[in-house]
Structure 1
């Protein structure tokens, strides 16, 4: 497997480390030479000079495939982290001159990643084509952990975050509704009472999901604890939950904004529940100790603009 990180290089990085990361990522002096547009002897010379400089061997060349030594594994980890920091420094320096370029790393909750963010990111990258965007999806706990450990620049979540080191900024308002398959007994009903949920198979997101926490809290407010429900399945994927509801395996709560197509096509039906209103904020997550800078700051300002434009389009 090739090392994708070896393709992005800070101009501030020591060239020997660039060559080292390429060789480690490609597991080949020849392929690293091709990647860097160097001759193979030049690559070999750079690695030998680096090994002499730090006085430890970095590769085991016994056999056809080269492998990293224990020292090589350690250096590779820090070389990748160092290059990433330098790329971020370059992005912040460029931002001082009004330029928006370089890496931007996001961790995003599932529903936001699948249904809310993609068109906005398309517009963002058309405005700032030099940004190198990397996005991963996770549940709320996973996003919070990624922001805390510094592996991403900013997070976007669907639920509350219980980490005092992190700051939440409300971005968009979302509503969760009860949905059933089109052939379900409740399809087409004007509303149901909360008590009717007790005997019905219910599909829920996994614990640790922001959606799950919000649904549990809202149900408790109308007198339904989790133990009162017939929880048929807990799913760690929003898409899987939706597919199971469509297949008639149970009823579930889902973002209304994310099921517009299914409601329009009639594969799902929304069923109001008397007294139950489940609203939630989609929020930015950043470190409380430091304001977002560089590309992260540019993205957040852009997304605030998008939220404002969306609110203006809504009928009064």
Structure 2
């Protein structure tokens, strides 16, 4: 945006199904999606793995020592809506350890990342997010990572667009710019 201040840009944070629909309808040029999209219908370019981590308030006793995933079950879990990539990834990680989101003491479904961060900061609960999404909050101490011995999730993102997009060359050029800036 700083290189092209006159560019018209809209950013949407939605689940995978809505973003795929927006691509088909021509409402957006591309989407950044986790791995669960129709590879037959869309062109895509991979973005290297992002690490998922558990986070909480500095005041939460989980922040002070290494834990196992099962040690988090007495917490209020804040998570995205069904069909969202982060939730799917979390549910799979829990399944791999014979756990389920219903095993947590409580669950709160939130579609807005900023609300989730605020509630975690206020020690209302914990959540699982991509490290990149809370990089600033971790550096400032607003939030802290819950050290987990048995949770190491790295997941790729994909730059997804219509295979027959009329401005395919421009979209692919934007991908290259994003990768350079990363």
Specify which of 265, 271, 275 is matched with residue 146 of structure 2.
Answer: 271
- Counterparts of 1:210 and 1:204 in 2: how far apart (Å)? 11
- Counterparts of 1:265 and 1:215 in 2: how far apart (Å)? 25
SS in 2 for 1:135: coil
Asked whether 1:232 is paired with 2:107, we answer yes
**Corresponding residue for residue 149 of structure 1:** 25
Q: In 1, are the aligned partners of 2:31 and 2:159 still within 8 Å (CA)?
A: yes
Matches within 5 A, 1:88-107: none
- Unmatched tracts of structure 1, length 5 or more: 1-120, 308-316
- Counterparts of 1:299 and 1:215 in 2: how far apart (Å)? 30
Asked whether 1:200 is paired with 2:75, we answer yes
Q: In 2, are the aligned partners of 1:140 and 1:159 still within 8 Å (CA)?
A: no
Give the CA deviation at 1:152: 1.8
Question: How many matched pairs?
Answer: 182
Higher helix share: 1
Q: 1:243-290: CA deviations, max 9, x gaps? A: 111111111112212223322232222112222112122221112455
Between the two structures, name the one with larger relative contact order (CA 8 Å, sep ≥ 6): 2
- Counterparts of 2:137 and 2:7 in 1: how far apart (Å)? 34
For residues 258 and 153 of structure 1, do their structure 2 counterparts lie closer, same or farther at Cα, with a shift above 3 Å needed?
Answer: closer
- Unmatched tracts of structure 2, length 5 or more: none
SS in 2 for 1:302: helix
Higher mean alpha-carbon deviation, 156-165 vs 245-254, is at 156-165
- Counterparts of 1:280 and 1:210 in 2: how far apart (Å)? 10
**Corresponding residue for residue 41 of structure 2:** 165
Specify which of 165, 168, 180 is matched with residue 293 of structure 1.
Answer: 168
SS in 2 for 1:282: strand
Give the CA deviation at 1:131: 4.2
Q: In 1, are the aligned partners of 2:46 and 2:156 still within 8 Å (CA)?
A: yes
For residues 169 and 297 of structure 1, do their structure 2 counterparts lie closer, same or farther at Cα, with a shift above 3 Å needed?
Answer: closer
Specify which of 171, 174, 177 is matched with residue 50 of structure 2.
Answer: 174
**Corresponding residue for residue 63 of structure 2:** 187
Asked whether 1:135 is paired with 2:135, we answer no
- Counterparts of 2:119 and 2:147 in 1: how far apart (Å)? 20
Q: 1:7-43: CA deviations, max 9, x gaps? A: xxxxxxxxxxxxxxxxxxxxxxxxxxxxxxxxxxxxx
For residues 193 and 129 of structure 1, do their structure 2 counterparts lie closer, same or farther at Cα, with a shift above 3 Å needed?
Answer: closer
Give the CA deviation at 1:183: 0.8
Q: In 2, are the aligned partners of 1:205 and 1:241 still within 8 Å (CA)?
A: no
- Backbone CA RMSD of aligned residues: 2.3
Specify which of 113, 127, 131 is matched with residue 252 of structure 1.
Answer: 127
Misfit runs of 4+, over 4 Å: 128-131, 289-292
TM (norm. structure 2) is 0.86
**Corresponding residue for residue 215 of structure 1:** 90
